[in-house]
Amino acid sequence: MSQDKKNAEFEEEWNAFGANAVVPARGGNNDKFKPEVGVVYDRIAILREPSWEIPSKNPTWAPSCAVNIVNLEDGNRMDWWFASTSSNGRNSIFRDRLSAMLEKAKEEGHHYPIEFKFRIRERTSNFTGNTYKELQPIFVASGNNIEGDLGVDPRDNPSNDMSIPMNSTFVPAPEGGSASITNKATQAQWDQINSLAKKIFPQGYTAQQLLDTINIAVEEGNITLQSLVGSGSIKIVGKGDLSEQNAKHVIKALTDFLGE
């Protein structure tokens, strides 16, 4: 095999799977967490390193942070989104405060999941008179010292398995066999999905980042990582069991994200 072909295959595997193993990313298909000003939130844990900078739907908007959290009281997993940068291009107060708390915890030997409590306060600038929101996070515990329900990733929950889309048509499995999807996404649809993804992430992307981007553009997504890359040992976008109907939803979500 020539080096050019090896490089092309390696690049595809890296974007789809390799980078995801070393660049942590949040989960998908969770409820959206929308905290209110002036409310103290406790019994909350961050499950993994947040995605600190995800491109926004509109290129004129600031990028977003995505934090995968869980309510330790009931195990409900949620996605918390907030601005990554402020209007002046600097990191947002939320990002700076949360990342500072997490970095200090890791320096002291703590690891994910990390339990914390926080409050959002509205303040007025002494210099400009403008009001702004301030995040006040406090570290509580980490790892095995956390008491409570860490929940189950929606993609791993047998009672909420969306890896096979609801709109798919199934062929009854022969005895001892397995069911199959008869209306899988076409190659033309996969080509369009990958083409749109490259426009959003010109420097390369992971399959998880692509899934996150799709979920930004839809209220309730039922697209899973497995439906994009499949369950084989090599994870490449286009190898999953995505249905033709859900491929249309993915294409529309990515097109809307780009504003095309």
Residues 16-57 pLDDT 10s: 655 544 544 444 456 789 999 999 999 999 999 999 988 876
**What local confidence, expressed as pLDDT, does residue 235 receive?**
60
**Residue of 212, 50, 72 whose CA lies nearest to 151:** 72
Q: Tell me the fold of 30-151.
A: OB fold (Dihydrolipoamide Acetyltransferase, E2P) (2.40.50)
Residues 165-196 pLDDT 10s: 333 333 344 444 444 445 788 888 988 988 88
**250, 193 in Cβ contact below 8 A?**
yes
- Long-range contacts: 130-136, Cβ < 8 Å, 24+? 132/93, 133/37, 133/93, 133/94, 134/93, 134/97, 135/93, 135/94, 135/97, 135/98, 136/97
Global pTM value: 0.53
**What local confidence, expressed as pLDDT, does residue 175 receive?**
44
Domain ranges of the chain: 30-151, 162-258
How far is the C-alpha of 123 from the C-alpha of 130, rounded, in Å? 8
How far is the C-alpha of 260 from the C-alpha of 254, rounded, in Å? 9
- Continuous segment of H or E residues that includes residue 118: strand 114-124
Phi-psi region of 229 (alpha: psi -120 to 50; beta: other; left: phi over 0): alpha
**What local confidence, expressed as pLDDT, does residue 18 receive?**
58
Task: Pull the structure tokens for residue 76.
Answer: 């409900």
Residue 212: phi, psi to the nearest 5? -60, -45
How far is the C-alpha of 218 from the C-alpha of 57, rounded, in Å? 11
**Residue of 93, 29, 81, 85 whose CA lies nearest to 50:** 81
How far is the C-alpha of 257 from the C-alpha of 104, rounded, in Å? 35
Residue 133, SS3? strand
How far is the C-alpha of 23 from the C-alpha of 19, rounded, in Å? 6
Task: Pull the structure tokens for residue 135.
Answer: 């995040």
Distances (CA, A) of 17 to 13, 52, 92, 232: 6, 19, 30, 11
**Secondary structure of 151-208 in HEC code, one letter for each residue:** CCCHHHCHHHCCCCCCCCCEECCCCCCCCEECCECCHHHHHHHHHHHHHHCCCCCCHH
State which residues of the chain have pLDDT below 70: 15-30, 57-60, 153-182, 216-222, 231-235, 260
Q: Give first-to-last CA distance, the chain, whole Å.
A: 38
